[in-house]
Chains A and B, each alone.
Chain A
Amino acid sequence: MTLNYRNIALFAGMALLLVLEGASAKNAVFSGSWDTSLGILNVGLISAVLALGVNIQWGYAGLFNAGVVGFVAIGGLAPVLVAMPANPGAFSAGGMGIVAAFAAAVATVWAAVLVNRRASFQVRLIAIPVILIGGFLVYRAFFGPASSAIEAVNTAAAGNLGGLGLPVVLAWPVGALFAAGAAWVVGKTALGLRSDYLAIATLGIGEIIVSVLRNEEWLARGVLNVNGIPRPWPVPREIDLQSSADFVARAASVGLDPVSASTLTVKLLYSALFLIVLLILIWLTQKALASPWGRMMRAIRDNETAAAAMGKHITRRHLQVFILGSAVCGLAGAMMITLDGQMTPGSYNPLRYTFLIWVMVIVGGSGNNWGSVLGAMLIWYLYTKAESWGPQLMAFVTSGMADGSVIKAHLMASAEQMRLLTMGLILLLVLRFSPRGLIPEK
């Protein structure tokens, strides 16, 4: 970001919104609660990480990934597998079966790829389906019993593999790795496709990943959700703070009641953690963008034909940024699950985790890391606030109407729908009047 007055003013404006949200008296616009304000900030910071990931793919390389939700979800798996306590007996019940099943799956795909490369057309026509179906049956033979065995262990409370019981912060890079692994597979298969085809292929892949998470109970309990994911160091639990005499005394000494002090402390610690991650990422992405690597990526985005003729390996570079961007999305997914304290696969919905993130990147200014951060903070702020603004606006609009009028009742009943409508309107307005976003790429 060039440090010009405009950009500084934009960030200052964003900060002012959050401060007003916390410090003003409660009114129609602001809630006047620091908890709300910091809550928005925290999710905003995670959204900023997510937006950076999408910006790496779209802004740096022009890759339209419509399956962001899948990579967020797969990153969210990491805290479960890393930080939750183990489910005793689950691994011995079916762990090896699962490993064998995946070995069979990998061997099948490998064999199919090999045959596809080496054999003649007639051989391929018969051999590939045979290999795929045969391999699938072998996979099922291992997988079915193993997964049911795991699901049978302590079904009511767990029924899944459980985790390693490690600190949850470790899960963040692991989440990034999970997403990177998935992105490698996806990229290898789908990156050859052109624009709209890539968009819809990734849309589908995102849905597939989410549906796997929803339905494989042995992995993360599927729709039964995993609760109680431990908090990261150094974030304490509010009730522990409230019961600590020391903390209560210190809170009183700064004139705070213990409840607000504890909730604010926890939120501030989260903010600090997320801010550190975000700043590291921004440093890395900014340095990358300003390096010869960034120059090469811009060249590829500008003109693929010429970049290829100048010796740049387009597919490999696309794969690289696709993996990098997805890894950042996975990291954000893991952070999100940590903040929520639970993994709920049912919550991965493309409107929220793909399209809303897109709105953030576009509004902020695609190609510009600082823009993505600003866009994420702003859109998340508006998305959260629209929840209360919508009904208030409707109440205002209908205030002139008679109580009990059908139209008033109808409008009030639809007030909550203002939320998505507002997002759409913002996206369209920005695309139209400021197509390069609030902080354009230079």
Chain B
Amino acid sequence: MKKILMASAAIALVAGAAGAEEIKLGISVGFTGPLESLAPQMAAGAELAMAEVSASGLLLGGSTVTAVRGDSTCIDAAAATATVERLVTAERVRGIVGGMCSGETTASLQNVAMPNGIVMISPSATSPALSTLEDNGLFFRTSPSDARQGVVMTDILLERGIKTAAVTYTNNDYGKGLADSFQAAYEAAGGKVTINTAHDDGKADYSAEVAALAAAGGDVLVVAGYIDQGGAGIIRGSLDSGAFDLFNFPDGMVSQALEDRFGPEITGSFGQNPAAAGAGRDAYVAMATAAGFDGTSAFSPESYDAAALILLAMAAANSSDPAVYKGKVMDVANAPGEQILPGELAKALQIIAAGGDVDYVGATAVELIGPGESSGSYREIEFQGGKMNVVKYR
């Protein structure tokens, strides 16, 4: 054992220096479990960024990047910890895109990533608790925290003159956190939340939830859920029963699937998701389509951005050692520097190699503030004529 440990320590030392190497990045998302339908697109997104960098041959003297997938199950902290343990100590990954859900992310961060000094960038864990967690500067996320979106939603609703809203949220920390922060912001701004109630994902039937929402009433229904989970059931039920025909869709809902499924029926409904002005998101969606997966699926763009950030930070630090490049993540994500969109990673690497600055914008307008989370700019979308149209960016 001693020998092996020494050997691996030696490898780690060697890996720290620049020179072509095979860099492994872990992807820890819930391929099984309640959000299993989102995981494949997230992993594909992250792998897309890695492939792009590998193909460019411009990272750390032509290093290649390989993805190692791990199943975090989304809900089982023990299994997630074991998975990340494997990624870190056996696969020797140099960074992790993940975890998926806040609970599992916290567990694997505190029990594995932090002790081993590995950088984790979560595309989808949004819990405010993660902002205050002690993380040794190792944890970042490309999804904005709930508090920010709550404020953006409030602005959008009030600008549209909507004074009462019913809120239904998916019963996990993402949904609950978002719904609560929205309610706080909205009511502080003079709006009225008629009801703020949960729906469980993966349940058989949502007529009870729709009935309760309908009874409470409101000008708009805020669906803080996931499109291919309970969120769709709630919308279906609300539309069919005539309970609501105007909706607000937060980031977990805004996707191609929403347009495909409900487009013509939800004319006038609106939503917001992280994206900056410019072609970032569209570029990503096009790349995803070319690669054969749905880039609009929730948290798939965030996953691409998370992987890209790790790799650009490595380039900027001229090292694949997390202890070194962790300090560069904020630098590459934020201004000053040239703005980088999806598909432009090679360009970014060239700029970095030439000693320039980059400001990674990516598919979701990444802007990291404070303790390494995305402050995010949002785009407001609206459905007209069965299509999802961008109204403006904020």
* Interface, chain A (partner B; CB < 8 A): 22-23, 25-26, 31-36, 39-40, 43, 155-157, 214-215, 222-225, 227-228, 237-239, 242, 254-257, 259-260, 262-263, 266, 336, 339-342, 344, 346-347, 349, 352, 383-384, 387-388, 391, 409, 413, 416-417, 419-420
Which residue on B lies nearest to A46, using beta carbons? B78
Q: Is B40 an interface residue (CB 8 A)?
A: yes
Instruction: A31 to B91: give the CA distance in the assembly, Å.
Output: 8
The reply to whether A224 and B127 form a contact with Cβ atoms under 8 Å apart is: yes
Question: Which chain B residues border A383 with CB–CB below 8 Å?
Answer: 79
Mostly helix, strand, loop or mixed at chain B's interface? helix
Instruction: A34 to B12: give the CA distance in the assembly, Å.
Output: 16
Q: How far is the CB of B135 from chain A (nearest CB, A)?
A: 10
Given known contacts A26-B90, A157-B132, A225-B106, A347 and B76 CB-to-CB distance under 8 angstroms = yes
Instruction: A266 to B102: give the CA distance in the assembly, Å.
Output: 24
The reply to whether B127 and A225 form a contact with Cβ atoms under 8 Å apart is: yes
Q: Name B75's contact: one of A39, A222, A344 (CB within 8 Å).
A: A344
Q: Is B286 an interface residue (CB 8 A)?
A: no
Which residue on A lies nearest to B128, using beta carbons? A156
Which residue on A lies nearest to B174, using beta carbons? A223
Q: How far is the CB of B19 from chain A (nearest CB, A)?
A: 21
Instruction: A387 to B91: give the CA distance in the assembly, Å.
Output: 13
The reply to whether B117 and A417 form a contact with Cβ atoms under 8 Å apart is: no
Can you list 26 A-B contacts (CB < 8 A)? A31-B86, A32-B4, A35-B88, A35-B90, A39-B81, A156-B128, A157-B129, A214-B171, A223-B198, A224-B173, A239-B115, A242-B115, A256-B5, A260-B9, A262-B115, A263-B89, A266-B115, A339-B78, A339-B111, A341-B111, A342-B110, A344-B103, A346-B172, A384-B82, A384-B86, A416-B69
Q: Name A419's contact: one of B8, B32, B198 (CB within 8 Å).
A: B32
Q: How far is the CB of A363 from chain B (nearest CB, A)?
A: 18
Given known contacts A32-B4, A157-B132, A259-B117, A352 and B82 CB-to-CB distance under 8 angstroms = no
Question: Which chain A residues border B160 with CB–CB below 8 Å?
Answer: none
Q: Is B15 an interface residue (CB 8 A)?
A: no
Q: Name B101's contact: one of A238, A346, A420 (CB within 8 Å).
A: A346
The reply to whether B173 and A223 form a contact with Cβ atoms under 8 Å apart is: yes
Instruction: A341 to B80: give the CA distance in the assembly, Å.
Output: 13
The reply to whether A419 and B78 form a contact with Cβ atoms under 8 Å apart is: no
Mostly helix, strand, loop or mixed at chain A's interface? helix
Instruction: A238 to B69: give the CA distance in the assembly, Å.
Output: 26
Q: Give 6 new A-B contacts, CB below 8 A, not counting A239-B136, A256-B5, A388-B86.
A: A157-B132, A223-B171, A257-B9, A384-B79, A384-B86, A413-B40
Which residue on B lies nearest to A229, using beta carbons? B110
B64-79 interface (Cβ within 8 A of A): 69-71, 73, 75-79
Instruction: A254 to B6: give the CA distance in the assembly, Å.
Output: 10
Q: Is B177 an interface residue (CB 8 A)?
A: yes
The reply to whether B4 and A25 form a contact with Cβ atoms under 8 Å apart is: yes
Given known contacts A224-B177, A263-B115, A23 and B89 CB-to-CB distance under 8 angstroms = no
The reply to whether A259 and B116 form a contact with Cβ atoms under 8 Å apart is: yes
Q: Name B77's contact: one of A32, A34, A340, A413 (CB within 8 Å).
A: A340
The reply to whether B129 and A224 form a contact with Cβ atoms under 8 Å apart is: yes
Question: Which chain B residues border A26 with CB–CB below 8 Å?
Answer: 90-91
Question: Which chain B residues border A23 with CB–CB below 8 Å?
Answer: 1, 4
Which residue on B lies nearest to A343, using beta carbons? B103
The reply to whether A416 and B103 form a contact with Cβ atoms under 8 Å apart is: no
Given known contacts A225-B106, A352-B76, A255 and B86 CB-to-CB distance under 8 angstroms = no
The reply to whether A227 and B78 form a contact with Cβ atoms under 8 Å apart is: no
